């Protein structure tokens, strides 16, 4: 490799150097051409592809949670509304060490064990890239504290979210219901109904009550328009998922607050069925209005020594149809039921909606029970005895009704046999257009009852609330006339010859008190059924409540706190 | 002797002291340097911190050109070998920091000196073959992040949110610019923060997105113009030293531009190389202009 260069041969040396320089220039030009080719490839041939990618970077579709519709009552009082609050949310796949992150957050923000538990449960149900709340409803202080430290928590964000709130807490929880996080089953259902796209932006769905039955209307647009079950629960507890302790308290309470009694409670109707029995007697020509019995205080089936006792031991004396309702004579109806037979009773009562769902716009309604020989055969593998019919006649047999069913039947009676389907919704208002959609009210059926029969039964029911009737006290001084009927549903059976003494019986085993009513009696505007569990007599506990409801509805009188007299001896009884 | 000649001879005189100073500083960095981002590149000298590898960008070709000038009369294989050692010593120190980008570029500037000084093709070929053969060995000495960068060059999509993110977003910016670009200050990639390092190493992506292929052509032409001018100066340089120096400065300038644009457009791995005269950054600009100063003094000192 030794190369001798003549000392003076600079010309050759320069030539040699320039050759290398020229090669370098060629190298430079070649590489620049490669670069240029690359630019042409990217910017001309692939331009639209990269344009799309850049647009995808720039534009991302963020689903916006729709503002859930408000629920108002008919007077515009808000029953469910939304408010905005901050949540602290964690996106799992952006966080390296979840536990450490939460521990660190807990130093800034109050995070309870319950919050952690709830978060863990959410984690199990959701995907890693979703942002899940660790704390809801941050205070302004907490928001400020976190914001200052935010850089320390990649993957943790504060988000403004709309929350649902139920201002009336437990008072109307069964009616309004509540919303909760969409669970797997509901997600699958939405997917199936091709509704999933509508829920991209929100995590909540109606779980019970109006929130559930009008999910379609409430989700993202509208507003809805009594019905009470007590004790209730605070629906606000359920929105974020209820904690274990509160759930146990609610679920194990002997008062069963989670049960929507109006819709799902099944009780013996007791004497409240007497007006319907009376109608049946007239309808099937088994009783004339003038037909009178002499009540010895009990009834016995022909050829039997078993005594079906009247609630009034000494009997009511001479009783016709009118009086049988006013004083609630059991003996009259023992005989009437026997003569009518279970088939006739079943037939007319079914038309009044007993034993069937009313079809109200709310999930979870139960159908009650209207017994028939076929039903008994199927259920108990026993034939129907004449005694069964006797018990059904005063509403203490196999028959079970829900308060809603009784209210429905009362309304049908008040409407002279024209039945309307009950509904909670009055109208739907589209907030964007303010367009109102009122629910159509068309009669469901007409029972075609004789108007004279109806007038007689109704007048007897009016007399119930007047001096001499079983609910005279509740009807006292009413500026309107109203029709009613008390009832008592037995909780435990009383042996033959024993006396029912309320004070000696545990509250839990006391009778349930009923009162059904409609008013004003000539032009009915409202029909209702009130049930007080273990309330004893309908006259002393249920009827006063009904009176207050009527006063409020017809007169706009706000109810005073109710004082129920605990008159164990019960001057009035049914 | 005019001013330019003076500067040219000054740089000749400064070559050895500057090189030795740089070497000492590099060794000092290896022992006392401050660690930032996992690399030991900076030296705290009390008043400020300095990055000696930047100094070596000019000191290494200076030293090599000085050495060849010194032994101009008879260049033997031994001379090339010694010159290579002068090159490899700082390069190895810098690669160890680790700062692969600077090390490669300094190696390139030294190689240009060797090449222009007339190192034989046989040596170049032998070197190429040896380096090819030693690739697996070299691979094993690379740091994980360096390997990643090379892997990302081959397939940036395999880690689109991690290591490949820079490259992918840069390519999207360039490609979406199209022929005429999105317009000045209208680049979505750059102004919406999808591009990392958009004022420094990745500024070409911003430029390319906003001015498109036509803008790129203008920029390439301008670079080519500077390079051609450098070649002309090199060709007319009066001494062996100035010829080697001018050639190395010109080719290094080109290399910076090419490597930067190549990396942004996805044909080269991501190495921290600024786009000459455009990227924000004081030190590299100072060194670059120092090079142009030497180039201009060589021009004034020509025959």
**pLDDT-derived band of residue A496, with 50, 70 and 90 as boundaries?**
low
Q: What is the pLDDT at residue B253?
A: 95
Single out the residue of A527, A559, A524 nearest to residue A545, CA to CA: A559
Q: Measured between beta carbons, which residues in chain A are less than 8 angstroms from residue B123?
A: 1
Task: Quote the domain boundaries for residue A164.
Answer: 71-259
From the list B177, B220, B228, the residue facing A35 with the nearest CB is B220
User: What is the count of structural domains for chain B?
Assistant: 1
Q: B245-278, pLDDT tens digit by residue?
A: 999 999 999 999 999 999 999 888 877 788 999 9
**Which sign does the torsion angle of CA A466, A468, A469, A471 carry?**
positive
CATH of the domain at A470: 3.40.710.10
Residue A129 contacts B where some CB pair is shorter than 8 Å: no
Task: Quote the domain boundaries for residue B232.
Answer: 3-300
Task: Return the H-helix or E-strand segment holding A101.
Answer: helix A98-106
User: Alpha helix locations (H) across chain B?
Assistant: 3-32, 52-70, 77-96, 100-116, 121-133, 135-141, 144-154, 165-177, 188-191, 203-235, 240-264, 282-300
| Bridge-based pairing state of the strands A78-91 and A71-72 | antiparallel
The verdict on a CB contact (< 8 Å) between B208 and A43 is yes
Residue A488 included in any domain: yes
pLDDT above 70 as % of chain A: 79
Q: Measured between beta carbons, which residues in chain A are less than 8 angstroms from residue B167?
A: none
The verdict on a CB contact (< 8 Å) between A34 and B267 is yes
Q: Measured between beta carbons, which residues in chain A are less than 8 angstroms from residue B214?
A: none
A296 and A178 within one domain = no
A167 and A237 within one domain = yes
pLDDT exceeds cutoff 80 at A272: yes
Cα end-to-end distance, chain A, whole Å: 131
Mean pLDDT of A402-425: 84
From the list A7, A24, A47, the residue facing B176 with the nearest CB is A47
Q: What is the pLDDT at residue B295?
A: 93
CATH of the domain at A160: 3.90.1310
From the list A21, A43, A50, the residue facing B231 with the nearest CB is A21
Final residue before a domain boundary, out of A230, A259, A288 = A259
A518 and A438 within one domain = yes
**pLDDT-derived band of residue B5, with 50, 70 and 90 as boundaries?**
low
Residue A62 included in any domain: no
Single out the residue of A526, A423, A532 nearest to residue A484, CA to CA: A526
Q: B100-157, pLDDT tens digit by residue?
A: 888 989 999 999 999 998 888 888 898 889 888 888 887 887 777 777 767 766 666 6
Annotated active-site residue in A271, A328, A372, A391: A271
A234 and A279 within one domain = no
Single out the residue of A484, A539, A485 nearest to residue A511, CA to CA: A539
Q: Measured between beta carbons, which residues in chain B are less than 8 angstroms from residue A57?
A: 169, 172, 188-189, 192, 194
Residue B291 contacts A where some CB pair is shorter than 8 Å: no
User: What is the count of structural domains for chain A?
Assistant: 2
Quote the ipTM score: 0.91
* C-alpha span between A278 and A287 (Å, rounded): 8
The verdict on a CB contact (< 8 Å) between A24 and B116 is yes
Q: What is the pLDDT at residue B158?
A: 63
Residue A177 included in any domain: yes
User: Which own/partner contact pairs does A298-305 have at CB distance under 8 Å and 24+ positions apart?
Assistant: A298/A331, A299/A330, A299/A331, A299/A334, A299/A335, A299/A390, A301/A338, A301/A386, A301/A387, A301/A390
Residue A353 included in any domain: yes
C-alpha pair distances (Å), A547 with each of A411, B165, B239: 16, 74, 119
The verdict on a CB contact (< 8 Å) between A4 and B265 is no
Residue A57 included in any domain: no
A271 part of the active site: yes
Closest residue in chain B to residue A14, using alpha carbons only: B235
The token pair at A340 is 């009518």
Residue B194 contacts A where some CB pair is shorter than 8 Å: yes
pTM beyond cutoff 0.80? no
From the list B123, B194, B235, the residue facing A21 with the nearest CB is B235
Q: What is the pLDDT at residue A52?
A: 87
Q: A36-67, pLDDT tens digit by residue?
A: 999 999 999 999 998 888 888 777 666 666 67
Q: B17 vs A94, which has greater pLDDT?
A: B17
Number of other residues whose CB lies within 10 A of the CB of residue A207: 20
Q: Are B112 and B49 in contact (CB under 8 A)?
A: no
| Bridge-based pairing state of the strands A179-181 and A298-299 | unpaired
Residue A43 contacts B where some CB pair is shorter than 8 Å: yes
The verdict on a CB contact (< 8 Å) between B116 and A17 is yes
Q: Are A242 and A251 in contact (CB under 8 A)?
A: no
């Amino acid at each position: 490799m030794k190369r001798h260069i003549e000392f003076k041969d600079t010309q050759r040396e320069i030539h040699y150097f320039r050759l290398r320089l020229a090669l370098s220039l060629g190298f430079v030009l070649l590489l620049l051409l490669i670069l240029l080719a690359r630019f042409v490839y990217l910017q001309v041939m692939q331009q639209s592809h990269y344009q799309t990618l850049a647009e995808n970077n720039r534009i991302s579709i963020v689903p916006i949670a729709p503002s859930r519709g408000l629920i108002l009552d008919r007077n515009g009082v808000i029953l469910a509304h939304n408010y905005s609050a901050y949540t602290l949310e964690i996106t799992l796949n952006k966080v390296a060490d979840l536990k450490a992150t939460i521990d660190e957050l807990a130093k800034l923000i109050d995070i309870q064990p319950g919050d952690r538990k709830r978060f863990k449960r959410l984690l199990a149900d959701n995907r890693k890239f979703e942002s899940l709340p660790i704390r809801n409803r941050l205070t302004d202080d907490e928001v400020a504290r976190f914001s200052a430290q935010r850089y320390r928590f990649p993957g943790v964000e504060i988000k403004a979210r709309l929350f649902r709130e139920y201002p009336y807490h437990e008072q109307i929880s069964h009616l309004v219901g509540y919303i909760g996080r969409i669970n797997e089953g509901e997600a699958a259902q939405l997917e199936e109904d091709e509704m999933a796209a509508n829920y991209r932006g929100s995590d909540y769905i109606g779980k019970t009550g109006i929130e559930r039955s009008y999910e379609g209307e409430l989700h993202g647009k509208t507003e809805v328009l009594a019905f009470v079950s007590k004790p209730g629960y605070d629906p606000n507890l359920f929105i974020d998922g209820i904690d274990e302790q509160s759930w146990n308290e609610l679920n194990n309470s002997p008062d069963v607050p989670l049960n929507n009694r109006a819709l799902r409670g099944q009780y013996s109707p007791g004497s409240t069925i007497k007006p319907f029995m009376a109608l049946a007697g007239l309808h099937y020509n088994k009783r004339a209005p003038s037909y009178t019995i002499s009540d010895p205080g009990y009834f016995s089936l022909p050829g039997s020594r078993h005594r079906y006792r009247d609630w009034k031991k000494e009997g009511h004396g001479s009783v016709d149809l009118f009086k049988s309702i006013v004083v609630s004579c059991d003996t009259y109806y023992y005989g009437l039921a026997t003569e009518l037979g279970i088939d006739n009773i079943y037939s007319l009562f079914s038309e009044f909606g007993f034993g069937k769902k009313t079809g109200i716009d709310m999930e979870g309604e139960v159908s009650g029970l209207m017994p028939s020989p076929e039903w008994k055969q199927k259920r108990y593998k026993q034939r129907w005895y004449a005694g069964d019919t006797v018990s059904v006649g005063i509403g203490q047999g196999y028959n079970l009704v829900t308060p809603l069913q009784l209210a429905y039947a009362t309304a049908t009676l008040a409407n002279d046999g024209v039945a309307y389907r009950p509904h909670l919704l009055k109208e739907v208002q589209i907030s964007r257009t303010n367009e109102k959609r009122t629910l159509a009210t068309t009669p469901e059926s007409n029972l075609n009852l004789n108007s004279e029969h109806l007038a007689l039964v109704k007048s007897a029911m009016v007399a119930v609330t007047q001096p001499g009737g079983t609910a005279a006290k509740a009807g006292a001084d009413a500026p309107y006339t109203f029709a009613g009927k008390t009832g008592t549903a037995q909780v435990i059976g009383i042996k033959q010859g024993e006396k029912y003494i309320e004070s000696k019986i545990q509250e839990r085993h006391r009778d349930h008190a009923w009162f059904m009513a409609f008013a004003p009696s000539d032009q009915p505007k409202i029909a209702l059924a009130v049930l007080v569990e273990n309330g004893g007599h309908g006259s002393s506990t249920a009827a006063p409540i009904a009176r207050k409801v009527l006063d409020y509805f017809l007169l706009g009188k706000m109810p005073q706190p109710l004082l129920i007299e605990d008159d164990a001896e019960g001057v009035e009884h049914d | 002797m005019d001013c330019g000649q003076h500067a040219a001879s000054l740089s000749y005189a400064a070559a050895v002291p500057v090189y030795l100073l740089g070497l000492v500083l590099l060794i000092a960095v290896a022992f006392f340097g401050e660690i930032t981002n996992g690399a030991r590149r900076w030296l705290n000298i009390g008043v400020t911190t300095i990055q000696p590898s930047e100094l070596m960008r000019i000191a290494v070709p200076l030293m090599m050109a000085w050495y060849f000038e010194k032994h101009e009369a008879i260049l033997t294989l031994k001379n090339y070998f010694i010159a290579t050692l002068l090159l490899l010593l700082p390069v190895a120190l810098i690669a160890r920091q680790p700062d692969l980008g600077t090390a490669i570029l300094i190696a390139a500037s030294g190689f240009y000196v060797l090449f222009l000084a007339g190192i034989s093709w046989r040596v170049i070929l032998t070197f190429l073959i040896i380096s090819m053969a030693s690739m697996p060995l070299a691979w094993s000495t690379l740091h994980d992040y360096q390997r990643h960068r090379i892997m990302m060059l081959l397939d940036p999509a395999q880690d689109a949110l991690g290591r490949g993110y820079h490259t992918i977003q840069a390519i999207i910016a360039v490609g979406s610019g199209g022929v005429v670009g999105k317009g000045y200050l209208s680049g979505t990639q750059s102004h919406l923060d999808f591009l990392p390092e958009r004022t420094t190493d990745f500024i070409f992506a911003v430029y390319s997105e906003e001015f498109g292929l036509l803008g790129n052509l203008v920029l390439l032409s301008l670079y080519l113009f500077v390079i051609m001018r450098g070649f002309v100066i090199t060709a007319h340089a009066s001494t062996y030293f100035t010829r080697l120096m001018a050639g190395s400065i010109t080719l290094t300038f080109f290399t910076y531009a090419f490597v930067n644009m190549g990396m942004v457009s996805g044909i080269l791995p991501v190495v921290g190389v600024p786009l000459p005269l455009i990227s924000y950054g004081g030190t590299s600009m100072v060194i670059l202009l120092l090079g142009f100063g030497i180039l201009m003094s060589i021009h004034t000192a020509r025959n």
